[in-house]
Structure formats: structure tokens, C-alpha cells
Amino acid sequence: MRVMDVSSLSPNAQRVQTALQLLGSHALIREHAEACRTSAEAALVLGCEIGQIAKSVIFKGQSSGQSILVIASGANRVDTEKIAILAAETPGKADANFVREHTGFVIGGVAPIAHAKPGRVFFDRDLLRYETVFPAGGTPQAMFPIAPSELLRISGAILADVALLP
């Protein structure tokens, strides 16, 4: 495996890039000048459809206290009732401190891998409609292109219907 020099990336992006390499992915993180804290901002910077943004939505399991990560299409809102059934517990709101403690990242830059305290992970099946999706790479400025099937594999997620119907 070819190892990329990650020293030009910010520390959190370096951590995610190293994790990508260890998981056998050739995806490369790129840091942008603009912060992309929302799917709409990211799609604008990348010049892609909003649905191609693979956003990381974190919930706090109400009974377990464990994180629940939903890797969702930027075009979708997550249905918490579906997540409750999948996780077998009520997903509660995760505040900024919980997100940082469990993922090691700030809200708006949560990568789908390399979490400080990994929890359960669910993957929006709607992401499979795209050839390439773009998750965050550890900071609001860092993103990387990846095939959704590869993202599903490296995240260890369970493929599910997580979208709230319009």
C-alpha cells in the first residue's frame, strides 16, 4: 500500500486520512478554504448534488449513552423513529460536547470513521444511487470523494432506510 504524506493536512484530517489508508481506501482528503458546515455549503463548494454529501448525523442513545452515527444523504432528513427501531433505543439529541467526546470532531466536520469512541453506525441506502459521495474529513473544511459502497464497507455501517418521508 502506498502511504500518502499527510503532514500538510490539519491534525484531525491527518487522523482521518491515516484511518482511510489503514482501512485499505485510496480516498484522499482535500481541505478547502471555505468551511462547509452544512450539506448545502459542501455541495456548493464541491459543485455536486446535495444528495452526494454524506453527512454524519450523531445521536445519543437514551438508554445506553452510546453514540449512534447515521451516514445520511445531504438531501435527506433522518427519521428518528426509524433509527429508534434500528438501534433498539430512543435516539436523543447529541450536544456539541457529546459529539466531540465520542467522535473527536466538531459538529460540521464529523468524519464517518476514526471516532474516539465508536458507537453504532447506520448508512442511508439513498447514498448508493451515486457513483461518488463526499463525507467530511475531520474538519468543516476537509472532505473526500469516495464510492458509497466503499464508504459503507470502511464505516462498518448497517445499510438501512433512514430517510424521513416528505
- What are the pLDDT digits (tens) for 25-84? 999 999 999 889 899 999 999 999 999 999 999 999 999 999 999 999 999 999 999 999
Residue 109 scores a pLDDT above 90:
yes
- According to the CATH classification, is domain 11-160 in 3.90.960.10? yes
Cell of 108: 460540521
Largest Cα–Cα distance in the chain? Answer: 44
Quote the pTM value.
0.95
Q: Are 52 and 74 in contact (CB under 8 A)?
A: yes
Between the two ends of the chain, the Cα-to-Cα distance in Å is: 44
Domain definitions of the chain by residue range:
11-160
Length of the chain in residues, anyone? 166
Q: Give the chain's mean pLDDT.
A: 95
Please give the pLDDT value at position 166. 81
> pLDDT (tens digit, 9 = 90+) per residue, 2-22?
444 567 899 999 999 999 999
Q: Are 8 and 30 in contact (CB under 8 A)?
A: no
pLDDT tier for residue 86 given thresholds of 50, 70 and 90: very high
Percent share of the chain, pLDDT over 90:
92
- pLDDT at residue 3, rounded to an integer: 43
32 secondary structure, DSSP code: -
pLDDT at site 1: 38
Q: What is the pLDDT, as a whole number, of residue 5?
A: 56
Q: What integer pLDDT is reported at residue 2 of this predicted model?
A: 41
pLDDT tens digit sequence for 138-165: 999 999 999 999 999 999 999 999 999 8
